[in-house]
Amino acid sequence: MTKTAVIRNAAKKIELLILDVDGVLTDGSITLDNTGNEYKSFYVRDGHGIRMLIKSGIRVAIITGRVSEVVERRAAELGITEVFQKSHDKRVAYNKLLQKYALADSAVAYVGDDIVDIPVMKRVGLPVAVADAAEEVKEIACMVTKNRGGRGAVREVSDLILKARGLWKALFNEYLKT
């Protein structure tokens, strides 16, 4: 079986997509001002991909090591209800999600960029590294995106899952209706 076929086969089984934030949903930059405000930039097409997944019945969760009001706000805008911040051992949040939704590892995809993501990525059915991820993360990933974190990597993964699950055409056709 080709690598593309292996990835597509894994994507067919996905019921939950878990995302890191810094370096995956953003480009990894953290901007702080002198009054303590934090700024992050999110790519709009990544957000649309997430909304399409949720609309299609695919769950989406965030597990991040940092704490940020900006993350809570963006998650709420996109309809992501499972947000775990200050998760230094991401396996704890991951196990909670598996138990809550009664999922097997094979039904989960995880998109990461740094070594803190590896313990969860080693367990999931579809481990994905963004194009600019640490080399150690790319080595254990089943798929490495063409796009960098915060610049379309999440959209690549959402489109892959939707197409592999046979959900893409119906979504696409909705946009063609007048």
Per-residue pLDDT, 60: 98
- Residue 123 belongs to a domain: yes
The number of beta carbons lying within 10 Å of the beta carbon of residue 129 is: 29
- Residue 138 belongs to a domain: yes
Summarised one tens digit per residue, pLDDT across range 58-81 is: 999 999 999 999 999 999 999 999
Counted domains in the chain: 1
**Helix 44-55 × helix 69-78 angle, to 10°:** 50
CATH of residue 17: 3.40.50.1000
Summarised one tens digit per residue, pLDDT across range 85-97 is: 999 999 999 999 9
List, in order, residues 6 or more apart from 156 with CB less than 8 Å away. Answer: 145, 146, 147
Per-residue pLDDT, 178: 59
The number of beta carbons lying within 10 Å of the beta carbon of residue 43 is: 20
- Residue 178 belongs to a domain: no
* Token pair for 151: 């610049």
The residue behind tokens 């998650």 is: 75
C-alpha span between 15 and 34 (Å, rounded): 42
- Residue 176 belongs to a domain: no
Query: Can you give the residue range of the structural domain that contains 124?
Result: 3-169
Give residue 36's pLDDT band: very low, low, confident or very high (50, 70, 90): confident
Summarised one tens digit per residue, pLDDT across range 104-160 is: 999 999 999 999 999 999 999 999 999 999 999 999 999 999 999 999 999 999 999
- Residue 177 belongs to a domain: no
- Residue 12 belongs to a domain: yes
